Chains A and B, each alone.
Chain A
Amino acid sequence: MKRAFSILLLSLPLAGCQGWQSALDAQGPSAQALAEMFWIFVAVLGIVWVLTMTALLLALRRRRPADADPLSTDPGTERRMTITVSVAVALTLVTVIALTGLSYAAQKVLFSHKDGALTLLVTGQQWWWKITYENEQPNLVFTTANEIHIPVGKPVLIKLESADVIHSFWVPNLTGKMDAIPGRQNQLQIQADRPGIYRAQCAEFCGLQHAHMGMLVVAEPKEDFERWRNHQVSSAIPPNDPERQRGMEVFLSKPCIMCHQVRGTDAGGKVAPDLTHVGSRRYIGAGTLETTRGNIAAWIIDPHGIKPGVNMPTIQLEPDEVQPLASYLEGLK
């Protein structure tokens, strides 16, 4: 038992450091500070735990004679125990004050907002994220969904809103979470120090598909980011191979357009994710399935098999319409 426990304890730091959605695999200054602080807390509190348990185990030795009167106390022992307990309480107080101070210092650093290089409006919806890149120039404002790109090394300001219930925006590798609450706007700053793809997930229970409300944060060098942004601003390029053209026809004649938007076509729905460049995103279904032609087809045919309760309906498609539709969407790079 004890051995199993210590193995578990040893595996904690190892296991905790991996993962693309891990709080301890810090990739930004804020998460870095938090991870360091976390380990300080673990060390200090671990020592406290070990000391207390040692005291408990030592206390379990039988020190009284078997026939002692349970009401009798030895004044010497009593005094020594009073002093020991008082010292222990005083030490607890000191520890607690030190940790409070540490926490406060970290809090000040964490929540002092620097000027962001970029401002995003992220709106939580049941069960996906709508992302608007704000800009002073109106023609550079655009909307996308479920995938954020940010330049490496630059602080990015995120404004959080909600369209329905409370959601919580959390990119563990970059920083702590912040709720998106209807009727309010919260702000959060993220910054990535290294290029990479970090996963975010809704952290506040928001209904049936709370489990499948993910998002990717792609940190990339400034040039790549600029290229990506300029591409996102543009409308969808009409396809030129026949299969995709057929797919576009299917798309525009089916219920898809009631909810989804593809800029540059007649599809102008605003209540579901913008699909203008859906093929360039790594995942569909709010971080649920990788963007491949097969997955897109599977998603269209039976969304409720993958994400039961999602607002995407099952639509009537002829068998020969699925493939063109999937390849059209996949081609929306």
Chain B
Amino acid sequence: MTKAITPHELDAVPEVTRLATGERGGVSGARSEADYSPDPKELRDDQVDGPELTARLAKTWGTQKGLIGALSTVDHKVIGRRYIITALFFLFLGGLSAVAMRLQLARPESSLIGPDLYNQLFTMHGTTMMFLFGVPIGEAFAVYLVPLMVGTRNIAFPRLNAFSYYVYLFGGLMIWLAFMLNIGPDVGWFAYVPLSGPEFSPGKRADIWAQMITFTEVAGISVAISVIVTVFKLRAPGMTLDRIPLFVWAELINSFVIIFAMPAVVTASALLLMDRLVGTHIFNPAEGGDALLYQHLFWFFGHPEVYIIFLPATGWVSAIVVTFARRQAFGYIALVLSLIATGFLSFGLWVHHMFTTGLPQLGASFFTASSMLIAIPNGIQIFCWIATLWDGRPVFRTPLLFVIGFFFIFVAGGLSGIMLASVPLDAQVHDTFFVVAHFHYVLIGGNVFPLIGAIYYWFPKFTGRMMNERLGKWHFGLAFIGFNVAFFPMHITGLMGMPRRVYTYLPEMGWGNLNMISTIGAAVFFGSFLLFLYNIVTSARRGPLAGPNPWNAGTLEWASASPPMPQNFDRIPIVTNREPLWAHRDSLPVAAGLSVENREQIVSTVTAGRADLRESTPEPSIWPFLSAVAITILFVGSMFTPWALVWGTPPLALALIGWFWPKAGTEDER
């Protein structure tokens, strides 16, 4: 598939890449950093070739065996795989809690689940789906795929990345363990004060929720930073801004949205914790605080959150549409610009979650306009995808089916969102099952359907085996029918006056039949996921071998082996086109000259993607794991006593000192 670049081919690629091949001289304007004298003792990848090169690189970049090795790994693929599996595990738990709620709501005045447990269930469902599944799944795919797609060997800041996974895992385990111990939060995933405040939420339940936010924030922002730097600085030579794959663009914008949105909710949850634990009066109106302040802080994060969940999905859709339409994306620039516009606009709509709180009407109508405006960038994306399919030659495999399902469901959800953007209409349907229907159409349509498509699509890359196509089509059919049967009737129950978050309802309200239909649909939908699980497990063991590029796709991740070797690529590819594998069907130009014995990567310039310098990336280390343990102790302890901030800091400081202890030797930068 790959072959070393020959001198005459070099003319076609940016000149600095020649330096990376180890050839010196004759190039004006070369960067001095890259100008080095080859160390005769160090083996470079232009000195060996073939299986020997692969084996040596695999040894250099590999993960060590044993528990310590597994916990020390900094390989983005290992971390990414764990991230994906963990997020899917939480999706499963969230789904289970949803099924329990649907069973309770199937009949009026059902006594299956009492109000106390029901409140915990819907809180866990929302919290899990938003914080433990929705945000991490997009980041998980970024961790696994972005370095592959931009043609580098590891993510930037790989230890930070490993650290973020452990923090996320511990946070998620903490809240679910708490739920099993009957300390599950019962105040809703939004935890409005004063209900979540000290007076009306006794015990530790709301603290668990607020502290879980802190965990996911630390994890989320860490990954976002790694992804941004990877995209900006570690792209393969020649990958100019307009050759970045759309998926990578989506993850890049997503990471920026995460970095700007998450601090708001950390502020909200930290202030809530202070009110609850230290006795501050930030949200207490009697002492000059304000309960609405909390809602502003929360939704300033909460609305971008929706786009944090949706943006990675646009990346999945773009990748799948392009591959299965067998045509390059129509309107690449428009798609990228609308992604950026969505990212910006998502910060200007938060008040539409607060239309019924009695805000000034002029302010509210401004947010009507801005909320409706976001239909434009989303519309552009939808139309561009349809245009790509129009001019393409669609191949109807399972990933594309799920993307078609995405169009049907997401567009419907987006349109009902336009109703919610209108202040007067929102006054009727706000906090009813209509809203529940709307955002499940948007989030399941906009995230879960593309996600399943993405799993079917990248599964061969992750495992080296294909998933079962027949089961996949059954899965799609069941999921599509089950979803619509479950959620479409909720529009009607909402309009008939059924509020959200009720654990039961009176028989005379006449909502019984529709709720029964919803429950049946939910059962079918859940069943489709069991089929999916079965498909994953059996395919991972016995599926047909996939080969590097089973779908004949165009982006760089398909140039690596399936599953990718620890080094991703034996030699770093040189990018001359947005779809490198379509442009160079038989051989991919590559750059050579990186060390085989050190973890060296090419650092490139931000816009032009010219190879700039070689830099070694961190070796595996146990310290990120230990730091995550230390920070978990600090966070959990501070739910019980503010003194945890004092005695929790030294262990964390020790772990961080160990992490950043300067080491001589192989990691020395040249």
A–B in direct contact per CB < 8 Å: yes
Inter-subunit contact A77/B391 (CB<8 Å): yes
Is B218 engaged at the interface, CB distance under 8 Å to the other chain? no
Inter-subunit contact B328/A70 (CB<8 Å): yes
Inter-subunit contact B582/A71 (CB<8 Å): yes
User: A115 CA to B360 CA in the complex, in Å?
Assistant: 19
- Contact residue among A19, A107, A182, A205 (Cβ-Cβ distance under 8 Å from B496): A19
User: A46 CA to B543 CA in the complex, in Å?
Assistant: 42
Inter-subunit contact B369/A85 (CB<8 Å): no
Query: Min CB distance, A257 to chain B, in Å?
Result: 26
**Chain B: interface residue count, which band?**
35 or more
- Contact residue among B358, B431, B577 (Cβ-Cβ distance under 8 Å from A203): B431
Residues of B within 8 A of A5 (CB): 484, 488
Inter-subunit contact B428/A60 (CB<8 Å): no
Inter-subunit contact B390/A183 (CB<8 Å): no
User: A165 CA to B392 CA in the complex, in Å?
Assistant: 56
Inter-subunit contact A64/B327 (CB<8 Å): yes
Count the A-B residue pairs with Cβ separation under 8 angstroms: how many? 280
Interface positions, chain B 314-369, Cβ under 8 Å from A, are: 326-328, 330-331, 334, 356-358, 361, 364-365, 368-369
Is B575 engaged at the interface, CB distance under 8 Å to the other chain? no
User: A118 CA to B404 CA in the complex, in Å?
Assistant: 55
Query: Min CB distance, B218 to chain A, in Å?
Result: 28
Inter-subunit contact A104/B285 (CB<8 Å): no
Inter-subunit contact B386/A62 (CB<8 Å): no
Residue in A34, A96, A102 whose Cβ sees the most chain B Cβ within 10 Å: A96
Query: Min CB distance, A316 to chain B, in Å?
Result: 24
Inter-subunit contact B419/A203 (CB<8 Å): no
Residues of A within 8 A of B114 (CB): 308
- Contact residue among B331, B426, B495 (Cβ-Cβ distance under 8 Å from A22): B495
**Chain A: interface residue count, which band?**
35 or more
Is B563 engaged at the interface, CB distance under 8 Å to the other chain? no
Is A53 engaged at the interface, CB distance under 8 Å to the other chain? yes
Is B173 engaged at the interface, CB distance under 8 Å to the other chain? no
Is B510 engaged at the interface, CB distance under 8 Å to the other chain? yes
Inter-subunit contact A63/B579 (CB<8 Å): no
Inter-subunit contact B285/A211 (CB<8 Å): no
Inter-subunit contact A89/B379 (CB<8 Å): yes
Interface positions, chain A 274-330, Cβ under 8 Å from B, are: 287-288, 308-309
User: A59 CA to B373 CA in the complex, in Å?
Assistant: 26
Inter-subunit contact B427/A175 (CB<8 Å): yes
User: A134 CA to B233 CA in the complex, in Å?
Assistant: 68
Residues of A within 8 A of B501 (CB): 205, 210
Nearest chain A residue, comparing its CB with the CB of B514 = A15
Q: Given contacts A58-B390, A100-B369, is CB(A208)–CB(B495) below 8 Å?
A: no
Contacts A22-B497, A52-B382, A204-B431 supplied; 12 other A-B pairs, CB < 8 Å: A19-B496, A21-B497, A33-B424, A52-B407, A56-B389, A66-B393, A68-B393, A85-B384, A96-B373, A165-B194, A183-B291, A206-B195
Q: CB within 8 Å of B: which residues of A?
A: 1, 4-5, 8, 11-12, 15-16, 18-19, 21-24, 31, 33-34, 37-38, 41-42, 45-46, 48-49, 52-53, 55-56, 58-60, 62-66, 68-71, 73-74, 77-78, 81-82, 84-85, 88-89, 92-93, 96, 99-100, 102-104, 106-108, 110-111, 126, 164-166, 168, 170, 172, 175-179, 181-184, 186-187, 199, 201-211, 214, 287-288, 308-309
Q: Which 4 A-B pairs have the closest CB atoms?
A: A176-B427, A183-B285, A21-B497, A211-B502
